């Protein structure tokens, strides 16, 4: 039996990149048929967007912007998807119908279209060891949010049978695991730990459960090892309700391999500028889904690209996984300071390579220090940068010039180090 879900996972990297770039103009053209992207990408010739350089010139749409557009459209009695979806139902004037609609916190509404494994989750489940004929116990929510449906459709594409456990009802779910004897678990890692602990407390045998795909939470190595000691090989994946599967873990346990149906960039937080390989930044994703054609969608999550291919033989790129949130907005002396403002300051100085704004002090005594890595440090540079900070943020800041490579590689643009006690 193959270790790979399909041949796409092991195709030459150059062939994959060529296929993605060949598909990109069509994705942009489809996006422009939606009312939101018709505005956001006005004047863009889709045929010219056939490289990562051209893609990087397009605006990043972040989740808070999608939410704001949805809220404004709903308030006006318009499209509840904010003009981003190409499918809907009678009254939304879309040529194709949606199969389901889900609600995520915000609330943000997401459409689901027709198709087998619509969210592309089968690839992650297969990498976690699930195979045709397995019974998979799914404890993701089937209510409002799409997680349960996302995972179940992927399991069905493999040929698995699923038990729709949903969330809560721990005792009933534990009883189902004991009596149905599933081979696999799908859900959050914390709930799997709860099930295993409660089974041990009550003397319930969970011997059939040997593999798991977890998501929705951080999955530290300590918990992974704890589960392995109890006979469960658990793997993680990174997916969102907007984009479906983005990346998944393999038996190599070396980062997460990118899904075949997305184009991923890592950009400096607050900007759309790609960072060098290995540098931590915000994960920005373009999906090939024609029903919900999100172009340069900022997830708000931090990650970094790992060098080289996966040791398992999968040839796609890899990311380190979730490394925190990119939204680092801070309120200083009554004014909001955004990562995009720090980026604007940097753009004014070719010598400036990277910066971190550190906010310190206690309530009502805030002070800002902008630490700047500079390739050269001509006289007066710090003072000129300080003037630019005041011009952009309307706040004063001390500027410290540093040698290149001095700042940590953790994706932080604004560090709030104030005491709130």
Residue 172: in which H helix or E strand, if any?
Answer: helix 170-180
Mean pLDDT for 233-254 is: 96
Q: Tell me, what's the pLDDT at 418?
A: 80
pLDDT of 333 > 80? The answer is no
pLDDT band at 406 (very low <50, low <70, confident <90, very high): very high
Contact 46, 26 (CB under 8 A): yes
DSSP 355: E
pLDDT at 371 exceeding the cut of 70: yes
Quick check: is 148 in a domain?
Answer: no
Q: Could you tell me if residue 369 is inside a domain?
A: yes
Residue 379 lies in a domain: yes
Give me 222's structure tokens: 């300590």
Identify whether 351 is part of a domain: yes
Q: How many structural domains is the chain composed of?
A: 1
pLDDT of residue 330: 81
pLDDT tens digit sequence for 90-143: 877 777 889 999 998 888 999 999 999 999 999 999 999 999 999 999 999 999
Mean of the per-residue pLDDT values of the chain: 93
pLDDT band at 324 (very low <50, low <70, confident <90, very high): confident
Report the distance separating Cα 301 and Cα 411, nearest Å: 10
Residue 67 makes CB contacts below 8 A (sequence gap 6+) with 82, 106, 108
User: 344 by DSSP, 3-state: which?
Assistant: helix
pLDDT at 49: 98
Q: Say how far apart CA 8 and CA 196 lie, in whole Å.
A: 36
Please, which contacts does 253-256 make with residues 24 or more away whose CB atoms are closer than 8 Å?
A: 254/306, 254/310, 254/311, 254/318, 255/306, 255/310, 255/318, 255/319, 255/320, 255/321, 256/318, 256/319, 256/320, 256/321
Q: Return the minimum-mean-pLDDT range out of 35-44, 76-85, 156-165, 330-339.
A: 330-339
Q: Is residue 146 a contact partner of residue 119, using CB atoms and an 8 Å limit?
A: yes
Span 403-408, average pLDDT: 94
24: exposed, middle or buried (C-beta count within 10 Å: 0-12, 13-18, 19+)? buried
The answer, yes or no, to whether residue 362 has pLDDT greater than 80, is no
Angstrom distance (rounded) from CA 210 to CA 185: 8
- Decide if pLDDT at 364 tops 70: no
Helix (H), strand (E) at residue 102: strand 100-104
Q: From CA 128, how far away is CA 251, in angstroms rounded?
A: 8
Residue 205: CA atoms inside 13 Å, Cβ hemisphere, count?
5
**CATH number of the domain where residue 394 is located:** 3.30.300.30
Residue 52 reports pLDDT greater than 80 = yes
Dmax (CA) for the chain in angstroms is 75
Inside any domain, residue 412? yes
For residue 363, name the pLDDT band (cuts at 50, 70, 90).
Answer: low
Q: What is the pLDDT of residues 162-218, one digit of tens each?
A: 999 998 899 999 999 999 999 999 999 999 999 999 999 989 889 999 999 999 888
Q: Are 233 and 211 in contact (CB under 8 A)?
A: yes
What's the rounded mean pLDDT across residues 2-26?
A: 96
Kindly state whether residue 158 falls inside one of the protein's structural domains. no
Q: How far is CA 334 from the centre of its chain?
A: 31
Range of the domain at 407: 330-416
> Where does the pLDDT of residue 257 fall: very low under 50, low under 70, confident under 90, or very high at 90 and above?
very high
In a domain, 398, yes or no: yes
8 A C-beta contact, residue 185 and residue 235:
no
- Please report which confidence band the pLDDT of residue 421 belongs to, taking 50, 70 and 90 as the band edges: very low
Compute the distance between CA of residue 244 and CA of residue 155 in angstroms, rounded to an integer. 14
Q: Is 354 domain-assigned?
A: yes
Planar angle of CA 21, 262, 214, nearest 5 degrees: 160
Question: What value does the mean pLDDT take over residues 339-357?
Answer: 92
| β-strand partners of 306 | 318
């Amino acid at each position: 039996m193959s270790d790979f879900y399909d041949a796409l996972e092991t195709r030459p990297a150059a062939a994959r990149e060529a296929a993605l770039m060949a598909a990109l103009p069509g994705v942009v053209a489809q996006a422009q048929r939606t009312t939101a992207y018709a505005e956001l990408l006005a004047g863009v010739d889709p045929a010219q967007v056939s490289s990562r350089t051209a893609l990087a010139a397009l605006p990043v749409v972040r989740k808070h912007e999608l939410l704001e557009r949805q809220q404004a459209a709903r308030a006006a009695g318009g499209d509840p998807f904010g003009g981003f979806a190409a499918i809907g139902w009678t009254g939304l004037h879309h040529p194709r119908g949606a199969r389901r609609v889900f609600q995520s916190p915000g609330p943000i509404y997401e459409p689901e279209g027709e198709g087998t494994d619509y969210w592309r989750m089968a690839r992650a489940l297969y990498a976690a060891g699930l195979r045709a004929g397995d019974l998979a116990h799914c404890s993701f929510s089937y209510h409002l949010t799409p997680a349960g449906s996302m995972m179940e459709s992927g399991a069905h594409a493999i040929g698995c049978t699923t038990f729709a456990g949903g969330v809560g009802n721990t005792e009933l779910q534990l009883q189902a695991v004991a009596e149905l004897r599933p081979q696999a678990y799908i859900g959050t890692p914390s709930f799997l730990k709860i099930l295993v602990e409660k089974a041990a407390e009550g003397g319930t045998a969970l011997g059939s459960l040997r593999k798991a795909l977890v998501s929705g939470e951080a999955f530290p190595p300590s918990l992974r090892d704890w589960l392995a000691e109890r006979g469960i090989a658990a793997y993680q994946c990174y997916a969102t309700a907007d984009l479906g599967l983005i990346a998944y873990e393999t038996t190599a346990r070396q980062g997460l391999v990118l899904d075949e149906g997305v184009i991923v960039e890592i950009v400096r937080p607050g900007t759309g500028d790609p960072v060098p390989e290995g540098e931590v930044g915000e994960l920005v994703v373009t999906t090939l889904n024609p029903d919900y054609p999100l172009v340069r969608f900022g997830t708000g999550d931090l990650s970094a690209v790992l060098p080289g291919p996966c040791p398992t033989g999968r040839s796609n790129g890899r990311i380190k996984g979730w490394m925190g949130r990119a939204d680092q907005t801070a309120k200083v002396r009554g004014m909001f300071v955004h990562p995009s403002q720090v980026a604007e300051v940097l753009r004014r100085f070719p010598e400036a390579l990277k910066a971190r704004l550190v906010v310190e002090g206690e309530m009502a005594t805030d002070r800002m220090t902008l630490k700047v890595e500079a390739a050269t440090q001509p006289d007066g540079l710090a003072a000129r940068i300080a003037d630019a900070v005041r011009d952009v943020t309307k706040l004063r800041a001390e500027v410290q010039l540093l040698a290149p490579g001095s700042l940590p590689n953790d994706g932080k643009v604004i560090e709030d180090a104030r005491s709130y006690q």
